[in-house]
Chain A
Amino acid sequence: MAASLNGRAAVVGVGETAYRRGSDRSALALQLEASLRAIEDAGLEPKDIDGLLPYASGAAVAEDFITNFGLEDVTFSATTPMGGASCVAAIQAAAVAVATGLCRNVLLPIGRRGYSDSRVASRVAAMPQFHVVSEFETPSGAIAPAQLYAPMARRHMELYGTTADQFAEVAVTMRRHAMLNDNAIMREPMTVEDHHASRMISDPFRLFDCCLESDGGAAVVISSAERAADTRRPVPILGVAEGHPDSPSVITQRPDITRLGLAKAAPRAFGMAGVGPGDVDVAEVYDCFTWTVICQLEDLGFCAKGEGGAFVEDGRIGLGGELPVNTHGGLLSQAHIVGMNHVCELVKQMRGEAGRAQVAGAEVGLVTGYGDLGDGSLAIMGAAA
């Protein structure tokens, strides 16, 4: 059993730029702007940063932050190349680094021009993790996440009776949450009928089952528990884990294509935190697709495999429901900042600073990452002191 990270590290600062479709700033400038805000939010200065965990598939490397901030002695840097699971997996790496004293304050920045620059199909083709798909499946016509994940969703529907209405429930709920968020891109009301009328992308995914492509930057600062005590409003990390699915580089060969790496990570993170799914007051769940939320709720243990579709019905995942999910609007309606926006939102929730989307009295919250064809990551946080 690994040493526990529970209570050893805290998120001390969060920063976000405006999220948009279209930006005149470079991806590096966007994450520098977000990083400054996160450092300021923590009550720190750039010179206090001595650890760096930039987004592995992103536009900037540790050197860019050393150069632009003029950092004199960075003692820890790493990347966690897990696609959409990277940002939350980086929380685990950061927690290890500060808990062991390798560094004091780690910056986790991300910035992207997902709308303005190259789109997802060409981005993933360039990622080394996709080499198996690129060689054996792309010549036949499969390249984009929407296509590669669609057979997972289709099999889930066929095996368990999951429906397009349940997918729509996720999309409409995320939109309703985004409408409360001044920094959300999509704030027009959406109905189940709107979802069903949106064009088919890769069956069963319609346009409104798919996340946005957006421009923006986000960053968090993670410090050791001792250091965090001196910051403005630290949020303690109670449990954290990453998990890799069987056949991680190609979904086609996975024994159960409806089970994600998160299913392996969840018991570890909950065990470390000493809580169970029933204790969670708010969940920020990586929503690259509507179905991905349904599947992760199962793999997190909120319900049994196959019951995720029914779980999202009846307002259960909306604000005021049993388990509010993606209180900021998610990748589906706020913006696609690779889930760092989910991390920022959870920290705000645990501080009681989530504005109109605040879940009253939230004591325990979680954030997931999902990417790279099934990798999963999970962080569980407690209320700010």
Chain B
Amino acid sequence: MSVARPVPEPTIDSKPYWDGLKERRLLLQQCGNCGLVRHYPRPMCAACHSLEVRWIESSRRGRLHSWTAVHHPFVPALRDEIPYVMATVELEEGVRLQCQMLDAEAAALRLDLPVEIVFREVQDGLVLPFALVV
């Protein structure tokens, strides 16, 4: 008996991000005024306070900033995947995201390991980013 993952509830500010994932594209917000890239999606640029936004596609290349191997089933939907590794990835664009790692052995991980972001449809209509050691 499988339990569904918690499903995100996209907002006006974040909908393009989630729509992008469905198309297997990692979209990031870029300030329409000063060009600063930010993540996770939000309405305002903290540098210049502009509300103008454009969306750019990430290179999906990054480095491992930190990680944890999760052994306790805090998220019931992931009980069968334990232990799974959560990665904090610093993207080339200068922002980070947290996602699950594919085929990772926690003991072999180290800071700044090159990774790339790939996509998996984990359940009907929910495409998530995953990190893969390059």
Binding site for B on A (CB under 8 A): 121, 125, 132, 134-144, 146-147, 150-152, 154-155, 158-159, 199-204, 250, 252-253, 257
Q: A136-B40, A155-B66, A158-B111 are in contact. Are A203 and B100 (CB under 8 A)?
A: no
B102 to chain A, nearest CB (A): 12
Q: A136-B8, A199-B71 are in contact. Are A142 and B66 (CB under 8 A)?
A: no
Pairwise interchain contact B110-A158, C-beta atoms closer than 8 A: yes
Pairwise interchain contact A202-B71, C-beta atoms closer than 8 A: yes
A203 to B6, CA, bound (A): 22
A147 to B86, CA, bound (A): 8
A140 to B5, CA, bound (A): 8
Q: Which residues of A contact B66 (CB under 8 A)?
A: 151-152, 154-155, 158, 257
Pairwise interchain contact A147-B70, C-beta atoms closer than 8 A: yes
A76 to B29, CA, bound (A): 42
Q: Which residues of B contact A134 (CB under 8 A)?
A: 6, 8
Q: Which residues of A contact B75 (CB under 8 A)?
A: 121, 138, 141-143
Q: By the criterion of a CB under 8 Å from any partner CB, how many residues of chain B are at the interface?
A: 39
In the assembled complex, 15 residue pairs joining A and B whose CB atoms fall closer than 8 Å, in A order, are A121-B74, A135-B9, A136-B98, A138-B8, A139-B128, A140-B99, A142-B70, A143-B74, A146-B72, A155-B66, A200-B69, A200-B72, A203-B69, A204-B68, A257-B65
A118 to chain B, nearest CB (A): 13
Partner of B67, one of A139, A154, A200: A154
Pairwise interchain contact A159-B69, C-beta atoms closer than 8 A: no
Binding site for A on B (CB under 8 A): 5-11, 14, 39-40, 65-72, 74-75, 78, 81, 83-84, 86, 88, 95-100, 106, 110-111, 122, 126, 128-129
Pairwise interchain contact B96-A252, C-beta atoms closer than 8 A: yes
Q: Which residues of A contact B100 (CB under 8 A)?
A: 140-141
Q: Which residues of A contact B71 (CB under 8 A)?
A: 199-203
Pairwise interchain contact A141-B84, C-beta atoms closer than 8 A: yes
Output the nearest chain A residue to B11 by Cβ-Cβ distance.
A135
Output the nearest chain A residue to B40 by Cβ-Cβ distance.
A136
Q: Which residues of B contact A137 (CB under 8 A)?
A: 98
Pairwise interchain contact B128-A140, C-beta atoms closer than 8 A: yes
Pairwise interchain contact B39-A141, C-beta atoms closer than 8 A: no
Q: A138-B75, A147-B74, A201-B71 are in contact. Are A155 and B14 (CB under 8 A)?
A: no
Output the nearest chain A residue to B87 by Cβ-Cβ distance.
A151
